[in-house]
Structure 1
Amino acid sequence: MAAHTAPLDLSYSDDDRGEGSSSGTPSHHFSRLLGSVLGSPFLTTSDLPTEDRSTQQLDGDDLETIDGALSAVPRGFTVTRPSSPSPSFRTETYSIVNWENNDVFGDGRPSMSDAAPSCSIRFRPLSSRGLYAASAYLPSSASTPYNTVRFGSPSPIKPSRSMGLLPKIWDALRESSPTKRGKRRFDNISATLWNELDIDGIIDYANLPPLDGEEGELIDDEACFIDVRAVTGVDIIALVPEEVALHVLSCLDLSSTVACLSVSKKWRRLALDNSLWRDLFRARNIDGWAIDPRRIIAQTPASLLAMSHSGQWNRGLPAQLELDWRDLYMSRAILEKRWAGTAIVGSSEDKENAAVFEPTSRKMYGHTDSVYCLEFDSSKIITGSRDRTIKVWSLKTGKCLATFSGHNGSVLCLKFDKDWELDPANALSEEEFGGEGHNLWRKGFMVSGSSDSSVCVWDMYACPVENEDGTVDLAVTAVVRRILRGHMLGVLDIRIDDRWIISCSKDALIRVWDRKTLELNCTFSGHEGPVNAVGLQGNRVASASGDGKMMLWDISTGERVRIFEGHDRGLACIEFKDDTIVSGSNDFKIKVWNANTGECVRTLAGHDNLVRALSFDPRSGRLVSGSYDRTVKVWDLKTGRMVREFKGCHNSHIFDVNFDATRIVSTSHDQKICILDFADGLNASLFA
């Protein structure tokens, strides 16, 4: 290349630091060197200053040969291009230049002078068929500076121990290539290569053009290739102990756990482990997913009877890992879709025949007048009627198990301890039962209110018995322990917990009774109309009245805490759980309240008549309402959206409604008890 004798100033100017030059003349930057037209960091004539070089005095010892000729350029002002980069063992295209050993191939190639280096060779992939091009720089006397030879992809070969340095390097590159084995390989470089390249004599490297990255040479990492489809790494899950692997998988969510089923047989076996699915199920407890462990010993009537006669009736609960948690999870997931109305019956592709799942409906008859109230658990339903009786029904068969009479008026409300017959702590002693077989009987607790202004406290008793057809049911009986008197008019609603019995009446009073002593603890007054419903949480009582107001009371202080106003007409029902109060009114609306602040969080409109009954689960956010418009509606409290509506349950006013994880039970003026079962065909007997 041409050169100038003027010195070159490579120091940074003010412009290099982002400031303007005071002299007004541009300075020479490194950026111009790196961005020269040749693409390599060496000096060009355009980068040199335009000073008069005739006055420069040069020492002959400082002269440097440029492009094979002696030119007047100081050696200190020349820039040497850096050597080519070393080949990467993670690439298939690479350059190897300037090796010194003249017999590295060991295959009888033509000898070369010690003063001249060996030939530079490059291999470049030409196509996906495995062809390669080998390029070598030839002497200037040749018709072209390099020739190209193509090689096919032969069958895999084994490395030879007698090969020289370059074939060994190639074997190392070939074996470490991330591409699929057996592809893009070619035979050992041998003497045939040199014959095809037509190389005779020594190559003049002094006249070879520089490497500039424009003709296929590997400059930096521009030609690196990594096959992203290559499978690398180690299956850690398969190598660690199973206890550790299960702990790692227990941190995954449902979709990730399902994906693990398709990884390998090892992963599938681990992903099907019962403990993983138990943890997945427990993670949904915040959504209301729960099981009642007491129901494990009574999943079928036959096992219930067998356990009672074998003495296992009082045995402790079995280990939870004895349950099939994956089946429970799948059943509960399907159940949730049925509640939400997203479960499809039939093929989803057949749109004409596909339909949203509808729960099976079953009706029970026995009362001779309106059925005002109900409560149910996993095995039985207890109802109160205008016919002054209380009836116990089998939830599985619909059979009436027992009928009790104790009130002189309509039974307007009742509450009992659910599934008392499954708790070993409720087993009767020999003295209480009065004979052998006492451990088969369990004692429960129930309270009922009537239009005769009385509150009856009942002792309930249950025992498994075998029917004539071989099925097993409960034998149930009850005895009035005590009658609580204090109200002057009909008792409209009742609530109980471990400490208190709360009753409200048409006399506009709320009375609090001690459950253990059955003595009156305190009385709340303040409503101007009949108190139609009450709710109980801890020491707080919420009351709803026909005067259109709702009040919050504190049992410990006996004082009124807050008044809620928002409904346009009188209130008919109320539910109080956690810090949420839900009320239904004669204005056809449902309102959701924050018990701590008194704020109305949401208003639900959809019924066409008085909202008579409410039941909700704060964990799942599911609310069920019954109305005088003869419909049962399911709501999502979190969004305020009506999810499902059932119109064919009753032919008259609905008085009460209740639900659990699998069913809705309602009563009506038409004397019927209606059951809507969402768990048809599912293993849902343990769901609470």
Structure 2
Amino acid sequence: MLRSMVLNSIIDDDAESAPPFSRLLSSFLGSPFITTSDLPPSDLSLIRRLDAGADLEAVDGAFAAVPRAETVTRPASPTPSFATDTYSLINWTEKGDWASAQPRPSLSDSAPSCSLLPSGSRRSASYTYSYASPSTPFNSFRISNSSSPKGSRNFNLLPRLWEALRDSSPARKGKRRFDIASDDLWTEFGGNGYIDYANLPPLDGEEGELIDDEACFIDVRAVTGLDIIANIPDELALHLLSFLDLPDIVACLRVSRTWGRLASDNAVWRSLFARKRGSGWLLDLRRLRYPALSASAAILPPQDLSRSRTFELPAPLELDWYNLYKSRAELDHRWSASPFTGRNGEDKENAKAWEPRIRRMLGHTDSVYCLEFDSSRIITGSRDRTIKVWSLKTGRCLATFIGHGGSVLCLKFEHDFDLDDTNALPEGQGWKKGMMVSGSSDCTVVVWNLYSYPATDDGDDEFTTVAEVRGILRGHTGGVLDLRIENNWIISCGKDAAVLVWDRSTLTLHRAFRGHDGPVNAVGVQGNRLASASGDGKMILWDMSTGERLRTFDAHDRGLACIEFKGDLIVSGSNDCKIKVWSASTGECLRTLTGHDMLVRTLSYDPFSGRLVSGSYDRSIKVWDVQTGKVVREFRGLHYSHIFDIKFNCCRIVSVSHDQQIVVLDFTDGLDTSLFI
């Protein structure tokens, strides 16, 4: 009976229904399978064995039968000891060997092998079993042979179970899939593929378990908040936005149309601009004035209206504060040495620091020793004994004054005096009166009355300027080297080592300070304190009210040539090629700036921006950051000889030299900076 059954099976069934078993079967579930070596070479051999009554063993139910002596039974799988936690259930490897230096486990299309490892040693040898049998209801989940060059395209059991559990959870819908070869997955497993089931985080809906709100469906697109800015009055919203900084305002511009409209309001940008006042962002609204249209002026013809000298200042919100802020920010950036790419950021690879436009003025016939300038004019003094007025806009010489018998070594004047209505002459038909003082090698100080007429009849913006000598101050026995104008005083110093204080209204001598052993080359004034710098290498701080000497600074190794006194800081330049920053209240040297190769002849300091500009006999101009002591910009080749004087504001640097030239470095190209101080 058994013989006939086997013969019928061999004859009727095709090759696919009775495959030969040549390798050891395995399963990660641990159930042993009975295997055999190759089947007998021919069916006749099998028939002879059956006729001989050999002891046969059924394989896989009833598909085939082999002699029992030729079967091999796989050893039983290790039994996990849950009481002692000796073994971990499952570990995945690419090659089935944790001890080898293999790449990190991945769930690629080539499914990894399965191994059982003792939990105490992750590098122990793994028990790897593989098979290649046809698909049956019992072995449909395949594990590829680790030694095969091309792995199976099927997934193994663990990812399939994970996928099924993931898809069964509504909380997982719409979230990322169990990514094949995902870095995040193996990072969560500890980074090496070993799963410590005892220390897994608590369930939170990710593994398919039910949670309290599993059946709740919430539309995440529903609006759950209230737009406060859009629902309050615009006046209150603008007040709230006025407390924000620039990055916050820029972010508000992109929130919505309502936020963008409010954040771009003129009042918001006015608040932003005003917050930069401490950095020197100041405006002079007197430069932008409109004719006051009274009832009588409104009926005048245009030509008569243009001659009207009654003006009114613009209301604050009449200005375009957004463009003012943008222009001033760009202007400050042009002073830095960082690459400048323009407004649209073109050509970033070849970007360079902004190079100011250079303008030169020629007219003096000898060395130019001193200069001062304001928003519309430059005034210079020269060795040719003349004082010249130049248009800052066009560079044209507007006037020439002669009043000294020697070289004009220093001068000062009231800046923008023609913009102040209190300086208007009673019957002057638009003329404004100002003041200028000049010192000379002839040992005198000349006090001038300046008159300016802001008419524009000839079609340009250049004012007519006239000067007359008001008085001559005689008290020095040597050349007058430096001057200062204060509210009530005129301060002068000279080669006679004296500092003289004159009454501005009466032009009489008020006080004399003597204490230096050499010529006093420069003075500085702050309130009632006066600082004097001498060629003897010393700097003295005086009290102008009492005449008391407050402090003596042993400032430099060699003679001092210039100083700047602003706030509590005194900046001094010397023949030792150094610049030093001092505290006037403590006498401490805060910082020493080195970089010039010859005598530092002139200094100009702005306490708001912290910029210091220096000029030297080495023919270079340097821009310093006083807070850090570093050079921000350096300009060479502007002059062909010694630089004698230098002044600057936020828009330009003006310098004069022994080469008879006045050089203007203009940073305002393409910007409207008419209101900036």
Q: TM-score, normalised by structure 2?
A: 0.66
- Is the CA contact (8 Å cut-off) linking 2:290 and 2:313 kept in structure 1? no
Counterparts of 1:592-611 in structure 2, within 5 Å, are: 592-611=581-600
User: Which aligned runs of 4 or more in structure 1 are off by greater than 6 angstroms?
Assistant: 211-215, 220-230
Q: How does 1:297-446 map to 2 (within 5 A)?
A: 297=289, 310=306, 313-345=309-341, 350=347, 353-430=350-427, 438-446=428-436
Contact 2:171/2:205 (8 A) holds in 1: no
Question: Letter of the aligned partner of 1:364 in structure 2?
Answer: M
Q: 526, 545, 563: which is aligned to 2:552?
A: 563
Contact 1:308–1:440 (8 Å) recurs in 2: no
Which residue of structure 2 lines up, in the alignment, with residue 107 of structure 1? none
Quick one: structure 1 residues 218 and 599, their matched pair in 2 at CA, closer, same or farther if it must change by over 3 Å?
A: same
Deviation at 1:235, TM superposition (A): 0.8
Cα distance change, pair 371–125 in 1 and its aligned pair in 2 (3 A): same
Give the match's secondary structure for 1:439: coil
Indicate which of 467, 470, 476 corresponds to 1:478.
467
SS at match of 1:331: helix
Q: CA RMSD in A?
A: 2.7
Alignment of 1:75-474 (within 5 A): 124-125=169-170, 128=173, 218=210, 232-297=224-289, 310=306, 313-345=309-341, 350=347, 353-430=350-427, 438-466=428-456, 470-474=459-463
SS at match of 1:472: coil
Residue 292 of structure 1, CA deviation: 1.1
Q: Match for 1:419: what amino acid?
A: D
| CA deviation map 1:515-542 (0-9, x unaligned) | 1121111000000000000001111110
Whole-angstrom distance in 1 between the partners of 2:647 and 2:501: 24
1:257 aligned counterpart, secondary structure: helix
| 1:620 Cα offset (Å) | 0.7
Q: Identify the residue that residue 200 of structure 1 maps to in structure 2.
A: none
* Percent identical residues: 65
Q: CA deviation at 1:321?
A: 1.1
Closer/same/farther in 2, CA of residues 227 and 622 from structure 1, 3 Å limit: farther
Q: What is aligned with 1:531?
A: 520
Instruction: Decide whether aligned partners of structure 1 residues 229 and 311 sit closer, same or farther in structure 2, where only a CA change above 3 A counts.
Output: same
Pick the aligned partner of 1:618 from 591, 607, 626. 607
Match of 2:561 among 572, 576, 579: 572
In 1, the alpha carbon distance for the partners of 2:523 and 2:588 equals: 19
Q: Is the 8 A contact 1:456 1:483 kept in 2?
A: yes
Deviation at residue 514 of structure 1 after TM alignment: 1.2
Partner of 1:206: none
Quick one: structure 1 residues 263 and 542, their matched pair in 2 at CA, closer, same or farther if it must change by over 3 Å? same
Report the equivalent of 1:664: 653
Structure 1 residues 245 and 520: CA distance shift in structure 2, 3 A: same
| In 2: Cα distance, 1:572 partner to 1:212 partner | 78
Give the direction of change, closer, same or farther, for the CA distance of 1:419–1:216 in structure 2 (3 Å limit): same
Q: Give the aligned residue type for 2:418.
A: E
Corresponding residue SS for 1:344: coil
Letter in 2 for 1:453: C
Provide the rounded CA distance (Å) in 2 between the counterparts of 1:214 and 1:325.
Answer: 54
Contact 2:365/2:660 (8 A) holds in 1: yes
**Separation in structure 1 between the aligned mates of residue 395 and residue 551 of structure 2, nearest angstrom:** 43
Aligned residue runs from structure 1 range 29-108, under 5 A: none
1:500 is displaced (CA, Å) by: 1.1
- Change in CA separation of 1:640 and 1:227 when aligned onto 2, cut-off 3 Å: farther
| 3-state SS of paired residue (2:326) | helix
Q: Which residue of 1 aligns with 2:570?
A: 581
Determine if contact 1:313/1:424 at 8 Å carries over to the other structure: no
Give the distance between the partners of 1:215 and 1:667, measured in 2 at CA: 81
Contact 2:169–2:207 (Cα < 8 Å) also in 1: no
Taking structure 1 as reference, are residues 213 and 646 closer, same or farther at Cα in structure 2, changes over 3 Å only?
Answer: closer
Counterpart residue number, 1:628 = 617
Deviation at 1:232, TM superposition (A): 2.8
What is the deviation of 1:212? 13
Letter in 1 for 2:314: P
- Residue-by-residue CA offset, 1:567-597 (whole Å, 9 max, x unaligned): 1100000000111100000000000000000
Could you tell me how far 1:467 is from its partner in structure 2? 6.8
Counterpart of 2:508 in structure 1 is 519
Structure 1 residues 226 and 374: alpha-carbon distance in aligned structure 2, compared to 1, 3 A threshold: farther
Matched AA of 1:125: P
Q: Which digits, 9 at most, give the CA deviation of each residue in 1:427-481, with x for residues without a partner?
A: 1112xxxxxxx2310000101000000001100000124475x323111000000
Aligned to 1:172: none
Task: Judge which range, 222-231 or 367-376, deviates more.
Answer: 222-231
SS at match of 2:230: helix
In 2: Cα distance, 1:686 partner to 1:237 partner: 33
Which amino acid in the other structure matches residue 334 of structure 1?
A: E
**Aligned counterparts of 1:449 and 1:635: Cα–Cα separation in 2:** 29
- Return closer, same or farther for 1:220/1:386 CA change in 2, 3 Å cut-off: same
Contact 1:414 1:494 in 2 (8 A): yes
Amino acid at match of 1:313: R
Deviation at 1:353, TM superposition (A): 3.6
- Other structure's SS at 1:327 match: helix
Task: Name the CA distance, whole Å, in 2 between partners of 1:311 and 1:647.
Answer: 46
SS in 2 for 1:270: helix
Aligned equivalents of 2:494, 2:206: Cα separation in 1? 97
TM-score by length of 1: 0.65
* Cα distance in 1, alignment partners of residues 465 and 290 from structure 2: 17
Q: Which moved more, 1:652-661 or 1:333-342?
A: 333-342
Q: Which residue of 1 aligns with 2:12?
A: none
Return the offset for 1:219. 5.6
Q: Deviations over 1:48-67 (max 9, x none)?
A: xxxxxxxxxxxxxxxxxxxx
Tell me how far 1:129 sits from its aligned partner: 5.9
Distance in 2 (alpha carbons) for counterparts of 1:377 and 1:212: 72
Residues matched between the structures, number: 473
Q: Is the 8 A contact 2:383 2:409 kept in 1?
A: yes
Secondary structure at the counterpart of residue 641 of structure 2: coil
**Unmatched runs of 5 consecutive residues or more in structure 1:** 1-36, 38-122, 131-210, 300-305, 431-437
Q: How far apart, CA to CA, are the structure 1 residues paired with 2:526 and 2:319?
A: 33
Q: Which residue of 2 aligns with 1:654?
A: 643
Is the 2:656–2:663 Cα contact (8 Å) retained in structure 1?
A: yes
Query: Amino acid of the residue matched to residue 170 of structure 2?
Result: P
Tell me how far apart the structure 2 counterparts of residues 540 and 298 of structure 1 sit (CA, whole Å).
Answer: 40
